[in-house]
Amino acid sequence: MKIFLKKTLMAPEGPFDLSIDVEVRDGECVSLFGRSGCGKTSILRMIAGLQAPQEGLVKADGEVWFDSSAGINLPPQKRAAGFVFQEYSLFPNMTVEENLKFALRRGEEAVRVQEYLGLVGLKGLERRYPSKLSGGQKQRVALARALLRHPKVLLLDEPLSALDVQTRWRLQDEVLRLYEKTGITMILVSHDPFEVMKLSGRVFMLEAGRIVKSGGPQDVFCGSEWEVFFQSAKNGPRAVRGF
């Protein structure tokens, strides 16, 4: 996947120029990591087509989603991207099953809903409304819904950050399992260095819209202000709790 984006972002302290140019390999999980306001969510939104860059090229599996030089800008529904946000974006007036069916394309079989419910461990909850689900269960539904559309890329924007630590750790394992099972390309935005280390093969560290460091988690975090977290994580969760 090719991602080249340029856009001036309007931060409260003044505008800054986001400019990134990266290649993400098929089946790779990469993370965007950086302080609040550095442009991580904007990047995901531009990939998904929810926001347009001033200049850029977004290409997935040979398909051009955005190309400023050729005047191409596919709408979000034409881009094979699955999106899971921090806040639960389920329809509150629909059951779990209805929320998933809504994601199916016309003519697709409802049986796939059961398959995906099984994939995220939610069988038996299909008739529940979102208000009767825990935060972790809601995010499982959101993940299933995103995967149902056969995305070429799964965009995860702080998907687990509203969850308690234990649920979060469990769901990180689930995401890892889904990732291994589906072989999908993932781009994760997370503030949590542990999550980044656990889930991603490559990290892009951002500052004010620019990639200042990239590589494996060890290369990126060692020697940075995040090294202490990296070392703690290597020592296991108990060491982390005591930190």
Ligand X SMILES: Nc1ncnc2c1ncn2[C@@H]1O[C@H](COP(=O)(O)OP(=O)(O)OP(=O)(O)O)[C@@H](O)[C@H]1O
Residues of this chain that interact with ligand X (CB under 6 A) are 9-11, 36-42, 51
What's the closest the beta carbon of residue 18 comes to ligand X, in angstroms? 8
Measured from the CB atom, the residue of 55 and 98 that comes closer to ligand X is: 55
Measured from the CB atom, the residue of 34 and 113 that comes closer to ligand X is: 34
Measured from the CB atom, the residue of 46 and 113 that comes closer to ligand X is: 46
What's the closest the beta carbon of residue 129 comes to ligand X, in angstroms? 28
What's the closest the beta carbon of residue 117 comes to ligand X, in angstroms? 30
The radius of gyration computed from the CA coordinates of the chain, to the nearest angstrom, equals: 18
What's the closest the beta carbon of residue 22 comes to ligand X, in angstroms? 16
- Provide the token pair at 193: 């260095």
> What does the H/E/C string look like for 46-60?
HHHCCCCCCEEEEEE
- Provide the token pair at 148: 């149902």
Measured from the CB atom, the residue of 74 and 208 that comes closer to ligand X is: 208
Burial class (CB in 10 A: 0-12, 13-18, 19+), 199: buried
Cβ partners under 8 Å of residue 202, min gap 6: 28, 29, 30, 31, 214, 215, 216
Measured from the CB atom, the residue of 52 and 103 that comes closer to ligand X is: 52
6 has which bridge partners? 19, 55
What's the closest the beta carbon of residue 89 comes to ligand X, in angstroms? 15
205 has which bridge partners? 33, 213
